[in-house]
């Protein structure tokens, strides 16, 4: 059975931390494919960069990855006319490829909040949660156990390894201060940001992804 990982996010912009997560998941879960899924219109975030810019940066980052043959970028949430929800996106992915075994990549913090998301039971029925954990941390496993007590169908697997401590907020702040390095984003993404004048004059938002 084909194993497909899904890494979604606002990707405003996509950075080297995101790509490190994608590559770790490909290796540790033996995925056949990793899908980058830029969010269309997240209901909880306002004033994000236009979808086409964020989608293009994902394509550029994927093309520079050493795993580029196994990474794709989906336009599934390109329609920004309405809020998008994880369970709907997973259902569409499953409909397009019914035989695929889906893995929804997420941070440890998601285990604490996913029960409040729209229709969490559908998320668990459609995909296994692939959770990033810090080496030596027991709290993530405990959170997974608590989640499974509440939702018996919730299955979790764990991914560990070194991921650069980068946030999209840090990238945007760095751009506004006049700097940018390949340590934060791929060279192609950095050039795209510069060529399109992204972030330099944008007011900062509170979220960090």
pLDDT of residue 82: 74
DSSP-assigned letter for residue 71: E
pLDDT at res. 80: 60
Residue 135 has pLDDT above 70, yes or no: no
Which of 41-45, 124-128, 171-175 bottoms out in mean pLDDT, i.e. has the lowest?
A: 41-45
Q: Residue 208 has what pLDDT?
A: 44
175: burial class by Cβ within 10 Å (0-12, 13-18, 19+)?
A: buried
Which domains can be identified in the chain, with CATH numbers?
Answer: 3-165 (3.40.50.620)
Position 180 scores a pLDDT of 78
As a whole number, mean pLDDT of residues 96-109 equals 95
Inter-CA distances, 104 with 42, 107, 132, 182, Å: 17, 10, 11, 27
Percent of the chain topping pLDDT 90: 76
* Cα gap 99→103, rounded to integer Å: 13
- For 23-169, strand residue ranges (E) read 33-38, 71-73, 101-107, 127-133, 156-160
Looking at residue 172, what is its pLDDT? Answer: 95
Of 76 and 181, which is predicted with more confidence?
76
End-to-end CA distance of the chain: 32
- What pLDDT, on the 0 to 100 scale, is given for residue 200? 82
Radius of gyration, CA atoms only, the chain: 17
pLDDT (tens digit per residue) in 182-204:
899 999 999 999 999 999 855 45
In angstroms, rounded to a whole number, what is the distance separating the alpha carbons of residues 106 and 142?
16
What pTM was computed for the model?
0.91
Query: Is residue 38 pLDDT above 80, yes or no?
Result: yes
* C-beta neighbour count of 33 within 10 angstroms: 16
d(CA 201, CA 4): 37
Q: Which has the minimum average pLDDT: 38-47, 50-59, 70-79, 103-112?
A: 38-47
Q: Is the pLDDT of residue 102 over 60?
A: yes
pLDDT tier for residue 81 given thresholds of 50, 70 and 90 = low
């Amino acid at each position: 059975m084909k194993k497909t990982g899904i890494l979604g996010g606002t990707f405003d912009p996509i950075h080297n931390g995101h790509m490190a997560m994608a590559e770790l998941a490909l290796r540790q879960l033996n995925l056949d494919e990793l899908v980058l899924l830029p969010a269309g219109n997240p209901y909880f975030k306002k004033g994000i960069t236009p979808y086409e810019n964020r989608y293009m940066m994902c394509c550029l980052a994927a093309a520079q990855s050493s795993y580029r043959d196994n990474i794709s970028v989906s336009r599934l949430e390109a329609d920004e006319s309405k809020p998008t929800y994880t369970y709907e996106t997973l259902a569409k992915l499953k409909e397009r490829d019914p035989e695929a075994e889906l893995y929804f990549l997420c941070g440890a913090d998601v285990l604490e909040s996913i029960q409040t998301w729209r229709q969490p039971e559908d998320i668990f029925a459609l995909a296994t949660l692939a959770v990033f954990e810090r080496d030596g941390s027991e709290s993530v496993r405990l959170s997974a156990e608590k989640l499974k007590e509440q939702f018996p169908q919730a299955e979790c697997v764990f991914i560990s390894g070194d991921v650069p401590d980068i946030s999209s907020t840090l990238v945007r702040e760095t751009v506004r201060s006049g700097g940018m390095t390949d340590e934060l984003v791929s060279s192609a993404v950095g050039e795209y940001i510069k060529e399109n004048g992204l972030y330099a004059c944008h007011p900062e938002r509170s979220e960090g992804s």
